[in-house]
Amino acid sequence: MFHQLDLVLPAEPYDGPMQMALDEVLLRSVVRPMLRIYRWSAPCVTFGYFQKLEEARRVHPAMPMVRRWTGGGMVEHGNDLTFSLIIPAGEKIASEAPASFYRQLHGRLAGWIRSRLPVSVDLAGGEEVRLGTSCFQAPSNDDLLIRGRKVLGGALRRSKGGLLYQGSLRVSEIPGWNPLRISPRSWAEAFMDCLETRTMDASILREAGELVGTRYGTTGWNHRK
């Protein structure tokens, strides 16, 4: 899928606003494709850019939550494998139509899972596609299904700098897979065999912290719709 890929190791856990801010800051400065694996400091709900906070609160009244920069539905995090792909504008796949991008990416991930586990992984389509406010209750075209249940969903955001994909894999619902045994490097091999690892620069962390204070951690951002 990529000629080269940087794997950003999850050096420490962060809360929802900081996770969202990190992805936006990384997209601003990305120069080659990057895969970032999240570690959550506490369970959290993210909800899509076009959703309403009140709607998310009705479903998850006691959970901390933050609006994503990407679209899609509500996702409860903490027991999932959460990751982002950050792709610079110069990469061909960054300019693909959303439907084509999802088909290529999710198809590759489905093949990777099939190669490691004796499970049937399908791409959602037709009658399997449903509308809904919660991501995993509403499969979209080419989301991953195992035994009819959605196990992977993702959402996109484009900017002048490139493309951000934020994804969530419900590893605990995949038969035969122990979520504690999926290392960041193992998951990264789904995208590319040849990887370079990197840690988060102090300047990125500082800029993301500032963005939490001006956007993702503010009432104005989370109540905007």
- CB under 8 Å to 117, separation ≥6 — which residues? 174, 175, 176, 177
Known catalytic residue: 135? yes
Residue 163 corresponds to which tokens in the numbers above? Answer: 């493309």
Among the listed residues 66, 74, 135, 211, the single catalytic one is: 135
To the nearest 10°, report the CA torsion of 177, 183, 184, 187: -40
Residue of 127, 30, 146 whose CA lies nearest to 86: 30
- Cite the active site residues: 135
